[in-house]
Amino acid sequence: MTGTHGPYNAFLDLPQMPVAHAESGPLAGLRLAVKDIYDVAGYRTGCGNPRKFVESDAASRTAPAVRAILDAGARFVGKTQTDELAFALFGQNAHFPFPVNPAAPDRVTGGSSSGSAAAVAGRLADIATGSDTGGSIRAPASFCGLIGLRTTHGRIALDGTMQLAPSFDTFGWFADDIETYETTGRLLLGRDPHQHSLDRPISLTWLDEMVDHPALAEYAGMKVLAGAVFGTPATSTSSFSSSPDELYWCFRRLQAREAWGVHGEWITSGERDLGPGVEARFGFGRAVDDRTAQAEQVRRLTFRSELSALLGKDGFLVLPTVPGPAPYVDSTPEQFQSYRERALHLLCFAGLSGFPQITVPIGSVAGAPFGLSLLGPSGSDIALIRLGRKLLAQHKRPEPWTH
């Protein structure tokens, strides 16, 4: 693994080997790119770390979720760059040239599914797999003008996948049109176990307050569009037992502790050359003690119960996916950290609850994409995709996003 190739630094520079796919099926003729945390038979899974790549054997089997897409007729076109061990939010892996955001080249793609988002936004692939542990489907989709669903936790099997934090990890995919997105979703998800109609939109004041000032007017317009499609969201000041900051830290501590539990032994067994930000996050997880983790797990379960009660059988949240458009590539470390914290305050709702959340590309700020999210009860993934379809049907999207 020597680097990346092709436009946008989306794909890893790997010898191309044949990967079997069906000649017919609902995805026939479409191109599939695969994030390099998923096994593809004949390829090593590098997980964004050159030493991990060197130590890995070529996979003997393709991850089942990826295989399902291939068996539906999609054609494999390459493995895509990921943030190191999938533990970052902005798509800036210290070991590779950074992927370029085709929709806003002066801004980041988002991570950790950075190459996959760049591939679809740059029209180098029609579908690209990603994962969402802390926001790695939703943030890149919002940044690059794509559709992205964080699936209900546990609904799609993660066999043949590098774990990061197992109680948060989910399979996801990108597409830039809703027909392809829903076809892929029906294939992977089947019928929703949640069979009640989602027809009660809800807005939470303190989620809306996370939007950055330059994006406020655009976000207000997106909510107006959502109101026209679904009915005006009922604004709730419903307070959870935990404050926004407490939920943010709950997510950070539990995710990082799990990540250390998965990767700590490997990290400490030799020189790994981790990028500084990734190394710091693993170090943070190493320091979370048992007592703290137990308390945060109680907080998490309480929050899940409270959010479930707020949504009921028919409710869904309308919220900003992230605080605004993607940060600029040349942002300072302080600017990146400020954005990351605000973003995770929004993204942690789905992570802590395990509930599904879709982001749809209906906004733009200063010419850069900005997504609106819908979060529903457990098992309502397909219903959310169909709600996203209704929003997109009423939205006049600029064509193309790519510059």
pLDDT tens digits for range 186-234: 999 999 999 999 999 999 999 999 999 999 999 999 999 999 999 999 9
Fold of 8-189: Amidase signature (AS) enzymes (3.90.1300)
How would residue 25 be classed by pLDDT, with cut points 50, 70 and 90? Answer: very high
How would residue 4 be classed by pLDDT, with cut points 50, 70 and 90? Answer: confident
35 included as an active-site residue: yes
Kindly tell me if the per-residue pLDDT of 318 is higher than 60. Answer: yes
Locate the domains of the chain by residue range: 8-189
pLDDT tens digits for range 171-182: 999 999 999 999
pLDDT, position 3: 72
How far is the C-alpha of 348 from the C-alpha of 346, rounded, in Å?
6
What 3-state DSSP class applies to 344? helix
pLDDT, position 239: 77
pLDDT, position 403: 47
Tokens of 71: 């068996």
Tell me which of 35, 52, 79, 223 is the catalytic residue: 35
Give me the count of residues in the chain.
Answer: 403
Closest CA relative to residue 142, chosen from 389, 401, 352: 401
Tokens of 310: 């707020």
DSSP 99: P
Beta bridge partners of 175: 147
Tell me which of 52, 79, 112, 114 is the catalytic residue: 112
112 included as an active-site residue: yes
How would residue 399 be classed by pLDDT, with cut points 50, 70 and 90? Answer: low
Kindly tell me if the per-residue pLDDT of 345 is higher than 50. Answer: yes
Closest CA relative to residue 115, chosen from 10, 233, 4, 243: 10
What 3-state DSSP class applies to 395? coil
Which residue has tokens 């020189």?
271
Tell me what the mean pLDDT of segment 330-355 comes to: 98
Tell me which of 113, 116, 131, 136 is the catalytic residue: 136
pLDDT tens digits for range 34-72: 999 999 999 999 999 999 999 999 999 999 999 999 999
Instruction: Give the chain's mean pLDDT.
Output: 96
- Percent of the chain at pLDDT exceeding 70: 98
Tokens of 353: 């609850």
pLDDT tens digits for range 95-151: 999 999 999 999 999 999 999 999 999 999 999 999 999 999 999 999 999 999 999
52 included as an active-site residue: no
